[in-house]
Amino acid sequence: MEESQFDYDGVNESTALTTGSLVSLIEPLAGNAAGSRGVVYHYEVDNGISYVSVLLANGHDIGAFAPGEAETSLSCTGIRPLDYVYVSPAQLQQDYAAGVFAPYFEE
């Protein structure tokens, strides 16, 4: 499995989240409606736990999801290659405003 794969028990490799995964919210979250679309822009491992971070089409960074949280909060709807290096929240918002993520939110 590639380093950027989000791997956890109970999910097969074909549904694992990775950088570039397109997702939708299963339930409302942080003021965002169920079905809101997003993209996984960052993957990291901290203390042996894999996390994915999600940016929604409306520009909201809804934070990092650990395996159990991702399973109950996110539905993977596809994947598109994404070569993005996360630097900071401010840079993420600048990149969003500049349209870096726009292709991931087109219908």
Report yes or no: 79 and 28 within 8 Å, Cβ to Cβ: no
pLDDT tens string 34-65: 999 999 999 988 888 889 999 999 999 999 99
Short-list 19, 39, 33, 32, CA closest to 84: 19
Give the predicted TM-score (pTM) of the model: 0.84
Short-list 52, 24, 53, 51, CA closest to 37: 24
**Structural domain boundaries of the chain?**
5-100
* pLDDT > 70 in the chain, percent: 86
- 3-class SS at 89? helix
Q: Tokens 């993209």 label which residue?
A: 39
Given the candidates 2.30.30, 3.30.300, 3.30.700, 2.60.40, the CATH classification of the domain at 5-100 is 2.30.30
Query: pLDDT confidence of 67, banded at 50, 70, 90?
Result: confident
Which has more confidence, 10 or 97?
97
